[in-house]
Amino acid sequence: MKPTLQTVADAVGVSRSTVSNAYSRPDQLSPDLRAKILEAAQKLGYSGPSPAGRSLRSGRAGAIGVLFSDELSFAFTDPYAVQFLRGLAETAEEHGTGLLLIPLAGDKDDTAATVREALVDGFCAYCVPDWHPSLDVIQDRRLPMVYAEWREDGDSGLLAVGIDDVAAARDAGRHVTALGHRRVALVAHWIGKEPFDGPVNLTRPEDAPHHVTRERLMGYRDALAEVGVGWADVVTVSAARNSREGGAIAAAHALDRAPRPTAILVAADLLALGVLDAIKQRGLEPGRDISVVGFDDIPEAETARLTTIRQPALDKGRIAGRLLLEPPESDGERQVVLPTQLIVRASTGPVPNGG
Amino acid sequence: MKPTLQTVADAVGVSRSTVSNAYSRPDQLSPDLRAKILEAAQKLGYSGPSPAGRSLRSGRAGAIGVLFSDELSFAFTDPYAVQFLRGLAETAEEHGTGLLLIPLAGDKDDTAATVREALVDGFCAYCVPDWHPSLDVIQDRRLPMVYAEWREDGDSGLLAVGIDDVAAARDAGRHVTALGHRRVALVAHWIGKEPFDGPVNLTRPEDAPHHVTRERLMGYRDALAEVGVGWADVVTVSAARNSREGGAIAAAHALDRAPRPTAILVAADLLALGVLDAIKQRGLEPGRDISVVGFDDIPEAETARLTTIRQPALDKGRIAGRLLLEPPESDGERQVVLPTQLIVRASTGPVPNGG
DNA sequence: CGGGAGTACTGTATCGGTTCAGAAGCTGAA
DNA sequence: TTCAGCTTCTGAACCGATACAGTACTCCCG
């Protein structure tokens, strides 16, 4: 039989409340008695108040749920995602709060059940498509939730942290068009609702079901339109997996067609690294023969000399945690937009002769 | 006021138990009544039994704690770790159980408190050093725990899954010595108790504080000893971070010394990829000018044509979960040892002329 | 018509804490 | 002496559910 507060109380000859105070409010009893209680607890093998009992009474679960739309493996191998998670974990730790992983892959009903039964004080939705049923469940449960992407919804009650993806992608696009590129390919993960490898026929970027992808494609589109390149003239390639290899596979679809694009805009650095691999594998040199721009500025981007958009992943995570655990008073503080910056490195250059 | 079971019960005019059954045991009441109850619940904004109450009563937390000794960021960027986690998540999901992340970095007292207060049914220790105080806390709490590394402790009550690291590393070493290599360097993360970049003076591999590192170094040592290469003649380099870049940095310490080793045995593929980077950066060709053997066989190893030891990371995770969630009857099943296999690719070859 | 079996539902005890009003005892000032 | 004020501890209520024994009712069979 596992010892409880009562066991210890009986052993010492005090009330249950006093034992509780010995653990949770040391100032409420004399140091002597406290020492005696802790000693007795030790002897009885009592290891402190049970989290379940405490959680029920206090109404605090001591954890926040992290929703992933992607398979666990790919969600974690992207250093950008990991960095975000790290920021979140940091804030969570400061508040004595844990992180409960909830992958949204698999059966949707199961997933919804998991979300419904999760012992958490709130949720952080990371790369979750707007239409996912789990989001309704969270609303039912009336738990706070923070989106890890900025959304412009009129709904001002929403907690959100993000960047201006459209503007950032536009910057990336303008950098490339300013260098003279006109034959451009776009590479992104999750352009459609299902994972797919290869060129896609997307009438308008607005139709992409995933928020982030949608906005970045819109930004690229805008920049290209400024120099007269129409959306129909752009090759858009979907990568089935958000990984370096996935990027290489997608790049192949862009590179092995004539005429070859002179620049590739990639919606994530991890994919962009794969794009660079594919380029080098074909004996071409990034920045000279073909330009590549990534997105995120993960640490590896510097090593790979990849031109990219820097966004503060760690801060994004920290702020997401803060929004959840220190709910802001005013509506104005409920949405945070972080700055981005174009980092020009060696992977972009002017259009090659005969390009 | 948030609605509870009682609210719904009162509204429908049935007992609390019946409402509970409507959710948890649909076979215990008539479909008609159940429908009526669920409808009333919907109307009242009741979103199902509260996890906290259920958890207290049923004694199940519905989550298992995953302990990480490393910083979150590096623990997750290693595809091997991610694969393990994925296997664990898979089994957990089958049991309707979540994964609660508990990074062991930072203040040890804080960490111990987190472990003490975590709402979980058990723990999985992944790459946690034997001496970590959190392990004592878990024992106090009398929760089951599975080690994600095989240990030979006499303590047969222990749940553990792993591989025979010594034998596997010995295979890696023998492969290299059979190719004629005698001037060998070793690269590993966490050779000492603190992260460190550069060669270390380790009197015996047995002194390494981390279980996995220790065993792999012992295996390398054994293989080298078989051909007369003494431990003192081997350069052992520590990588401060378990990342590709960390591997490259560590490799520099081995490559930029005379005489240069002709082979490098690396205790993890992620590091080995960095070692390959460093080698190529110096204009050398892996497998011809210098041989490299990794450990783990992560997906990238195939692309990089890295000779390595394959271990079933996904299965390891799955089995860890199974050991925790379906406790075996007999003691003999409490420890699982999985097979490993040497995968020879292009990164190893005979000693170059003049080597 | 008695009795066994089955179905549908209820009532109460219980899980292990926290909270808070209040009691007991002791001190010191009026 | 009296009583306000403080410290220290107690007891009961409560958090929101589940488990289980038990009741009431129906059905079927001999």
Residue partners of B152: CB distance under 8 A and separation at least 6: none
Q: B161-174 in b/e burial notation, b at 16+ Cβ within 10 A? A: bbbbbbebbbbbbb
Strand C interface, protein residues by Cβ within 7 Å: A 2, 4-6, 16-17, 20-21, 23-25, 46, 49-50, 52-54, 56-58; B 13-18, 21, 28-30, 32-33, 53, 56-57, 59
Residue partners of B133: CB distance under 8 A and separation at least 6: B108, B111, B112
Residue in B closest to A74 by C-alpha: B82
Beta bridge partners of B11: none
Q: Which residue has the higher pLDDT, A126 or B45?
A: B45
Position A154 pLDDT exceeds 70? no
Cβ-defined contact of A114 to B98 (cutoff 8 Å): yes
pLDDT band at B203 (very low <50, low <70, confident <90, very high): very high
Q: Given strand B235-239, what is the order of strands in its sheet?
A: B198-199, B235-239, B184-189, B263-266, B291-293
pLDDT band at B151 (very low <50, low <70, confident <90, very high): confident
**pLDDT score at A155:** 63
Judged by a CB distance cut-off of 8 A, whether residue B133 touches chain A is no
Interface of A with B in 93-122 (CB under 8 A): 93, 96, 98-103, 106, 110, 113-114, 116-119
**pLDDT score at A129:** 79
Q: Which nucleotide is nearest to B52 (CA to C1')?
A: D16
Residue in A closest to B313 by C-alpha: A73
Quick count: other Cβ atoms within 10 Å of Cβ A346?
Answer: 15
Beta bridge partners of B293: B265, B307
Query: Average pLDDT for residues A13-30, to the nearest whole number?
Result: 95
Give the DSSP letter of residue B261.
P
Position B42 pLDDT exceeds 90? yes
**pLDDT score at A355:** 55
**pLDDT score at B355:** 54
Task: List, for residues B77-124, the tens digit of each pLDDT value.
Answer: 888 998 999 899 989 988 889 999 988 877 777 788 889 999 999 999
Amino acid identity, residue B6? Answer: Q
**Start-to-end Cα distance in chain A:** 78
B162 phi/psi in degrees, rounded to 5: -175, -165
Position B177 pLDDT exceeds 80? yes
Least confident piece of the model among A257-271, B63-77, B190-204: B63-77
Q: What is the C-alpha separation between A128 and A108, in angstroms, rounded?
A: 13
Q: Where are the beta strands (DSSP E) in chain A?
A: 63-68, 98-103, 123-126, 145-147, 159-163, 184-189, 198-199, 235-239, 263-266, 291-293, 308-310, 335-338, 341-343
Helix (H) or strand (E) segment spanning residue B52: helix B51-58
Cα B191–chain centre separation: 17
- Strand C footprint nucleotides (protein C-beta < 7 Å): 7-12, 14-20
Position A187 pLDDT exceeds 70? yes
Strand D interface, protein residues by Cβ within 7 Å: A 13-18, 21, 28-30, 32-33, 53, 56-57, 59; B 2, 4-6, 16-17, 20, 23-25, 48-50, 52-54, 56-58
My answer on whether omega of the bond before B328 falls inside 30° of 0, hence cis, is no
Dihedral sign computed on CA atoms, order B18, B22, B24, B30:
positive
Query: Average pLDDT for residues B171-198, to the nearest whole number?
Result: 95
* Chains A–B, number of C-beta pairs less than 8 Å apart: 138
Beta bridge partners of A258: none
Query: Average pLDDT for residues B270-287, to the nearest whole number?
Result: 96
Task: List, for residues A207-224, the tens digit of each pLDDT value.
Answer: 998 889 999 999 999 999
Q: What is the C-alpha separation between B331 and B351, in angstroms, rounded?
A: 47
Q: What is the C-alpha separation between A209 and A293, in angstroms, rounded?
A: 23
Q: What is the C-alpha separation between B59 and A336, in angstroms, rounded?
A: 40
pTM above 0.95, yes or no: no
Nearest protein residue to the C1' atom of D20, measured from CA = B17
Beta bridge partners of B335: B160
Helix (H, G, I), strand (E, B) or coil at A350: coil
Q: Where are the beta strands (DSSP E) in B168-303?
A: 184-189, 198-199, 235-239, 263-266, 291-293
> Which residues of A fall within a CB distance of 8 Å from B68?
none
Instruction: Please answer whether residues B185 and B237 qualify as being in contact, where contact means their C-beta atoms are separated by less than 8 angstroms.
Output: yes
Q: What is the C-alpha separation between A212 and A130, in angstroms, rounded?
A: 11
Angle (CA) B78 B108 B81, round 5° = 15
Task: List, for residues A51-101, the tens digit of each pLDDT value.
Answer: 999 999 999 999 999 998 767 777 778 889 989 998 999 899 888 899 999
Query: Average pLDDT for residues B330-338, to the nearest whole number?
Result: 89
